[in-house]
Amino acid sequence: MEQWVESLMSNLMFIFIPSIVYFMVWAKNRKQNSYTSKLVLFLFLCVSIILCLSFPYHFQDRFYFDFRQVPLAIGVLYGGPIVGGALLAILSIYRFFIGGDMTLFAILVAVCIYISLFAMTRKHGLSNRPKLISALVVSTGIIPIALKLLWFWYDLFDYQQLLNLLLFRSMEFVVICVTVYLIEFVIDHFKMQKELQEIEKMRVVSQIAASVSHEIRNPLTTVKGLLQLFRESELSDEKRKNLTEVALQELTTAINIISDYLTFAKPQIEKMTYLDLSQDLGQVVSVLTPYANMQQVTLTCVVDTTEQILGDSQQFRQCLINLVKNSIEASPNGRVDIAVVTIREHVAIRIKDTGSGMTTEQIQRLGTPYYSTKEKGTGLGTMVAFSIIKVLNGRIVVESEINKGSTFVISFPKQTALDAV
């Protein structure tokens, strides 16, 4: 009895562990029908079959009780006929190698299970649960039991042996059903996660679209009014020139909003190159210094590293301009300090301001659609910055305290010429 329980638990472990590893770790982030996934599934189930056959329960020195049919059924159902056929070949060869007077019977049962599952899969598709259950009942329940009754009819074993064989076959059938149920549960779980992610994406897109449409409507309305004014009024050249400049500025605003939206949706990194941080940050400071002066903000930048990072210079500068500009707007009559240092294997860019600071809730919502700490902000600039940082394999951490300011720490993996090779 003790040996029987030990063999049973060992076989269950040999089946569940590879199946869980495959369906929860490997197949989660990969296409289940791809060639590589099927090859990996075959290898996992092949190991299960070999282990089950290697540690069976010996009954009357004639019968070998194990759960070898479970990996075979899983292989046919989730790997297809090729994976199932390869597993059948491995099972048959290894069982023949083990030997015994019931070898041919054991191989025949495996062949019948494979043929039955293959035929029902081709005919019915097993796309829904009732068909799957019917296939399991017929292929792994009725057919093996019918074969044992047929063997009993020809007096290949006695009544007591038949009862033991039927008992074990029933147990194996239950194990197959439980294993398939667990696999289907895992697959449904991941499908539900994917559906929820798609719903969340659609929600995000709708929120951003609402934000973009709202922000674009204002400049377009202004341009429309100016065009009507040009058509209906006689304007002096000077006034016409001034109004034309206003219209162009409003159109530029609309274009920038659309560009930010497209960048957030899919940041385009055309070419990854080694970035000269001193040069790129110098350009960012040059662009934003006049704006900082208008806000009476002191803007400083110190680059205390010679390390390089890999990225797109234009996108990198756009990301920093968006974040530094936000810090300037949050720190009127204050200061914004930019520092670049090396921390172990990363290059860190610190943007520290003396603004009004943010609460923990505000920090958590940074980078989410249609959220801004500014009264008339859309949050697109911050979303774009966060998206670019992610595409460049970077990470951003925000620390803030009310009435004391905020600190943005952006870290990127440092790169060397050897890394590029």
Q: Which pLDDT score is estimated for 381?
A: 72
Domain interval for residue 369? 273-413
Q: Indicate the burial class of 20 (C-beta count within 10 angstroms; 0-12, 13-18, 19 or more).
A: middle
Q: Which pLDDT score is estimated for 418?
A: 41
Q: Which pLDDT score is estimated for 132?
A: 79
- For residue 418, being part of any structural domain is answered with no
Same domain, 141 and 209: no
Specify which residues 186 forms β-bridges with. none
Given a cut of 60, is residue 1 above it in pLDDT? no
Q: Which pLDDT score is estimated for 140?
A: 83
- Phi, then psi, of 357 in degrees rounded to 5: 80, 175
- For residue 403, being part of any structural domain is answered with yes
DSSP state of 403: T
Question: At 236, which CATH number?
Answer: 1.10.287.130
Same domain, 135 and 278: no
Domain boundary (265, 285, 311) is at 265
pTM of the model: 0.52
Same domain, 240 and 346: no
- For residue 339, being part of any structural domain is answered with yes
The model's confidence at residue 246, banded by pLDDT at 50, 70 and 90, is confident
Tell me the pLDDT tens digit for each residue of 353-383.
998 888 888 888 787 655 566 555 556 677 7
- For residue 244, being part of any structural domain is answered with yes
**Residue range 36-49: average pLDDT?**
86
Same domain, 336 and 250: no
- For residue 247, being part of any structural domain is answered with yes
**Residue range 49-59: average pLDDT?**
82
Domain boundary (214, 244, 265) is at 265
Same domain, 100 and 160: yes
Same domain, 363 and 244: no
- For residue 421, being part of any structural domain is answered with no
Q: How many domains does the chain have?
A: 3
- Could you tell me what percent of the chain has a pLDDT over 90? 11
Same domain, 336 and 214: no
Given a cut of 60, is residue 29 above it in pLDDT? no
- Residue of 17, 137, 34 whose CA lies nearest to 78: 34
Question: At 319, which CATH number?
Answer: 3.30.565.10
Regarding beta strands 273-275 and 57-59, do their DSSP bridges make them parallel or antiparallel, or are they unpaired?
unpaired
Specify which residues 64 forms β-bridges with. 58
Return the structure tokens found at 168: 């074990």
Domain boundary (174, 196, 218) is at 196
Same domain, 89 and 161: yes
Residue 248 parent element (H or E): helix 237-265
The model's confidence at residue 40, banded by pLDDT at 50, 70 and 90, is confident
Question: At 81, which CATH number?
Answer: 1.10.1760.20
Same domain, 228 and 316: no
Given a cut of 50, is residue 257 above it in pLDDT? yes
Angular region, 273: left φ>0, alpha ψ -120 to 50, beta rest: beta
- Residue of 67, 87, 93, 90 whose CA lies nearest to 75: 87
Same domain, 85 and 157: yes
- Could you tell me what percent of the chain has a pLDDT over 70? 81
Q: Which pLDDT score is estimated for 262?
A: 63
Regarding beta strands 395-401 and 405-415, do their DSSP bridges make them parallel or antiparallel, or are they unpaired?
antiparallel
Same domain, 365 and 296: yes
- For residue 64, being part of any structural domain is answered with yes
Same domain, 346 and 317: yes
Query: Cβ contacts of residue 148 below 8 Å, gap of 6+?
Result: 162, 165, 166, 169
* Residue 224, CA distances (Å) to 21, 130, 237, 254, 269 in order: 61, 62, 19, 13, 35
Tell me the pLDDT tens digit for each residue of 294-325.
889 999 999 888 888 888 887 888 888 888 98
Tell me the pLDDT tens digit for each residue of 168-221.
888 888 888 888 888 888 888 878 877 776 776 666 566 666 666 766 777 788
- For residue 280, being part of any structural domain is answered with yes
Q: Which pLDDT score is estimated for 302?
A: 92
* Residue 27, CA distances (Å) to 79, 193, 330 in order: 12, 14, 46
